[in-house]
Amino acid sequence: MVSPPARYLVFFQYFGTKYSGVMETSNDQAIAGVQNYLEKAAQNLKPLVPIKFCISSRTDSGVHALCNSAHFDIQRAPGKPAFNEKQLIHCLNYHLRTEPIRILKAHRVSSSFHARFSALSRTYIYRVLTGCAHYSQIPVFERDLCWAPMGPKLEFWELKFRSRSFLYRQVRRMTGALVAVGQGKLTPHHIKELLEIKDSRAFPSYAMAPPSGLFLKSVEYNEADLDTTVSPAE
């Protein structure tokens, strides 16, 4: 007799520079998404049914994650017990070892849990490096991990944004608008007008912050949903 599938929530991180974004892409696209690599690694668990990751938070091409999350179901062969969290983390990370993607934590959750819709909030940070007159002056290990507009001295600023959900490119627009105001390219009055228009197409392209400085920092859930001392069936 086949046992019901086990549902897991995993937290994972990645450098997004080489990916089309976190979401899955089709086979005919030149650049794959992080989800493609996660699902390829998961097939090594030898499930009866191909594993599909349900990602909690979309990130665009070039955007990074200190901690994103996803849930998925694993249907094992008759007589095979469900994986424990340590087994799951070890196996997935082993098969992701050539990629800048790592599984951080895993939780067995109930079949009604949903990584996207059960999330209470999401927190993003945007890293701005000031004081660089030219791209070549950015420290080599930071070149794909920040935005470097010109400024008076070399220092990092981190802007933090927390909400239950965000609009497409919202954090990049908010960050770009703040920097544009600081540089005198936009005024507070212009920002007020853009908010009143309520049309993302009206936002000036020069004020869009690049993806390289954006990190999804965390996805927050109710702790009771992640309590592994309670049977997921309860």
Which residue numbers are catalytic?
60
Question: How far apart are the C-alpha atoms of 160 and 217, rounded to whole Å?
Answer: 9
Ordered DSSP codes for 11-36: EEEE--TTSSBSS---TTSSS--HHH
Q: In Å, what is the CA distance from 82 to each residue of 74, 89, 111? A: 8, 13, 14
Q: How many CB atoms lie within 10 A of CB 93?
A: 15
List b or e across 25-63, with b for residues whose CB sees 16 or more CB atoms inside 10 angstroms: beeeeeebbbbbbbbebbeebebeeebebbbbbebbebb
Residue 196, amino acid: E
Q: Tell me, what DSSP letter sits at residue 136?
A: G
Question: How far apart are the C-alpha atoms of 116 and 219, rounded to whole Å?
Answer: 9
